[in-house]
Structure formats: C-alpha cells, structure tokens
Amino acid sequence: MGKAWLSLLIILFVSGLQAQQVQWYAEAPDEVFASGQFEVSFVLTNARGSKLRFPDFNGLEVLAGPNTSNSVSIINGARSSSTSYTLVLRAENQGSMVIGPATIEVEGHIYKTKALTIKVKKGDLSPDTQNGIRAIAKMELSDKKVYVGQQVTARYKLYYNENLAFSDELKHPEFTGFFHKQLGAVNQPVSGMRIGNREYTGMLVDAIALFPQKSGQYAIKPSLFPLRKRSAGEDPFFNPFGNYEDFPIQSNGDDLRVIPLPGIKAEDYIGALGQYSAEVEVKNPRISTDEAVTFYITVTGNGHGQQVEAPRLPMVDGLDIYPAKVAEEQEFVENQQLWHKKTFEYLISASKPGPYVLRPQASFFNPESGKFEPLQFKDIEITVSQGKVREEGGYISSTPVKASPNSFLIAVAGGAGLMLLLFGVSYLCVRKNERSTPIRQRAR
C-alpha cells in the first residue's frame, strides 16, 4: 500500500513539474513602421497543443502565415522543445495597435498569451503593389537560448517576386552587448515561400555571428533593407540609367536569452566555448642539453577566438618550459558559422639527458552537453642527449677533440717565438744594469 502511494506521489510530482515547464507566449517588435511588414510569433514550449485560436488582428493585414517551426535544445542535460506559429503582418496607420491573446489547449488545459501593444511609427516606406506585397525581409536566429560567449548566427533573408536591387547596404542595429562579425553570406539562394497564389524567391543576403558578452535578456532589433525597383514603362534603350523607385523594408526582431556558465569552471579551462579540437606538431623531437625543442598546439573551434588561451603543460623535472606565445591566428566560415584556428608556440630546454613525455592539459565548455570537457591531445615525446656541460666556470665537450698536424706545428712555432722574446728581454736588462754601475778606480 505504501509503495502505491509513493508511486502516485511521484507521478503527481512529475506531472506538476511538466505543467510548470509548459509556456505559451507571444513575441512581436515593440515598434514598427507604417506600411512596413513585421512578424508576430506565438510560441509553445515543452508541450503539444491543439485547438489553436489566433486573435482578431484588427487594424492589421495578415500577409503570410501562420508558418510553423519546431526546435529542440539541450541545456545542462535538460531537453526542451518549442513550436512557433509565425504570421507576417502589416500596419497601415500610425498609432498604437493591440494584438489580443491567442489560446491553445494542452492536455485539457487552456493556455492564453498576454496581449501585445505595438507602436506604429511614420516611415518612408512605399506602399506595396496592388497585386500583393513586393518583398519580405526576415531575420532568423540559430538559437534562442545560449551561454555567455556562445556563437549565435543571425541570418537575414529576402523574399521577393519582382526584379529588385539594393540601393545601399543593409542597416543593422548596434548589437550592443555582443561581439559580432559578418560571415560574408551574400546573395545565396534559399527556399522560397508562397503567399496566397504568389510565389516568392528566397535569398540569403547577410549572416552575422554574434557572441554575447554578458548574461541577460536581449532584444535583437530589426534591420532595414534599402530596396529599389526600376520604374515601370521606361525603355532601357533610350534611358539606360533609368529612374528607380526606392522602398526600404524592415525585417523582424527577436529575443535572445543568455545564461551564465554553470557552477565552478574547470582548473584547466582555456576560455574555449563551443565545439573544439586540438592538434600537436613537434618540429625537432631529438635535441641535446644545449638545444631547445619547439612544438606547436593548434586549437580549432567555433567560439570567440580572442578568449582562447594557451593549453597548459605540466612541470617536468629536467625540463625548462618557457611561456607560450601566439604564433598564428586564422578565421574561416563553414556552414554559416565563424570558426577559428589559434596556434601556440612552445619552447622547452633540457638540463638532463633522457626521454621525456609531455601531456598538455586543457578543457573547453560544450554547450550541447552543458559540461566542461577535456581537449584530446597526443603525447609529446622528446629525446634529449648529452651536450656541453658546465664545470668550474668553463665548458668541457662531451665529444673528444682530435689534434691535427697543423695545430701541432702552430704550437711549436708559438713556443719558439716565446723563448726568443724572453731571451731578448733578459739581454736588455743586463745591459742596462752594466751602464748604471759606477766605474771604480784601481787601487795603487
């Protein structure tokens, strides 16, 4: 009977915990331009819902959607999932617009989002064509919840159904609180989309790597796409330069949650956060005690390269290990992510001969597992032979030196010259003494 009660309590506890994890909320920018497009998303986390009901978008025009997307993330070993229902809207008039609550049913419970208030500002955005919207600008984040220092990719896509061009570069927000770098993704085709009976071609026009510097909740603000279109009815033969109509459009914004690294950092943590690997290269594994060995450790990963420090080497009796220095840094883009290679140069000298084995020590933080993990290195093997050793202030070579015939003749000639010099000095001294002695008269 007791076991049955215990099982029932466990089931109730788990059910209550799961219910606490279910969230249903709405996301939209705080401010938009009149006649511009923006997105509103309704997000359900850690549950499967049914009987979804959107609010009445009074004063707003629904241009596309709802489009459904699913995502799964693992943080600290805990799995979470979310489903987003996104619509593309347009506001015609200035002022404050209210998007009412949306409801969804989860296991018999009705969840309701909070109402959203959006400020519609006056903009220089041209109206769309009578047959439908000309283009849609969309920003997508690769993740919605990351650790401090973890890379997030912001991808900017353009969907269009007319012959358009950019009149200027994209105007992005400041990205305050982030280290950021553009990934060079320009005009790469992506999957298109359909709005009503109209097909839109998709193009990736920009991608930016973001590295958050502090924990907190961040709002990634919209970007401006300065588009232009050649005026209709013009003959390009008589007017090759043509007249163009400019109409900037605005992308959506999005929220990003940044959390700190968990617990106590590993002692050998080198500041690497992401997916990492390491390689070792030894230039001269066989040296004498008079020489130094040079080797390199290259760390490769998709974290913030400037924060990565040199892996540590253990102290070994008989070896002098000098501080490592950065020999080379490289950056490259792969799968729309910024990767880097950082090569460290090490210099080691030996005071004792013998074989030595060094095992570098370093760990990185893996955001997928939520743990600090060791970098894998191959052992560094060094063989040291006896070189010159110091004795009583001088050096004695460990290798015997053979005398040559020429060195013998030079030694004999040098000795003979020295003997002649000493004889000459002695003769001059005797003559000097004789001159300085007074002449005595003979006795009579």
Question: What separation in angstroms does the CA of 389 have from each of 289, 396, 399?
Answer: 8, 6, 11
The parts of the chain modelled with pLDDT lower than 50 are: 5-6, 8-20, 124-131, 236, 238, 390-405, 407-408, 435-444
Is residue 249 domain-shared with residue 293, that is, in the same domain?
Answer: no
Is residue 255 domain-shared with residue 148, that is, in the same domain?
Answer: yes
Is residue 149 domain-shared with residue 73, that is, in the same domain?
Answer: no
Is residue 300 domain-shared with residue 340, that is, in the same domain?
Answer: yes
Q: Is residue 116 part of a domain?
A: yes
What pLDDT was estimated at residue 168?
85
Q: Is residue 403 part of a domain?
A: no
What pLDDT was estimated at residue 88?
80
What pLDDT was estimated at residue 276?
96
Q: Is residue 3 part of a domain?
A: no
Residue 298, amino acid: T
- Domain interval for residue 197: 126-260
What pLDDT was estimated at residue 27?
87
> Rounded to whole angstroms, how far apart are CA atoms 167 and 25?
37
C-alpha triplet 123, 61, 153: angle, nearest 5°: 70
> Rounded to whole angstroms, how far apart are CA atoms 26 and 114?
7
Is residue 302 domain-shared with residue 320, that is, in the same domain?
Answer: yes
pTM over 0.75: no
Is residue 173 domain-shared with residue 285, that is, in the same domain?
Answer: no
Q: Is residue 234 part of a domain?
A: yes
Is residue 277 domain-shared with residue 387, that is, in the same domain?
Answer: yes
Please give the tally of structural domains in the chain.
3
What pLDDT was estimated at residue 416?
63
Q: What is the CATH number of the domain that holds 363?
A: 2.60.40.740
Is residue 148 domain-shared with residue 227, that is, in the same domain?
Answer: yes
Q: Is residue 12 part of a domain?
A: no
Q: Is residue 420 part of a domain?
A: no
Q: Is residue 404 part of a domain?
A: no
What pLDDT was estimated at residue 438?
43
User: Can the peptide bond before residue 66 be classed as cis, meaning omega within 30 degrees of 0?
Assistant: yes
Is residue 391 domain-shared with residue 273, that is, in the same domain?
Answer: yes
What pLDDT was estimated at residue 33?
73
Is residue 308 domain-shared with residue 361, that is, in the same domain?
Answer: yes
Is residue 230 domain-shared with residue 149, that is, in the same domain?
Answer: yes
Is residue 305 domain-shared with residue 320, that is, in the same domain?
Answer: yes
Tell me how crowded residue 54 is: count the other CB atoms within 10 A of its CB: 20
What pLDDT was estimated at residue 391?
41
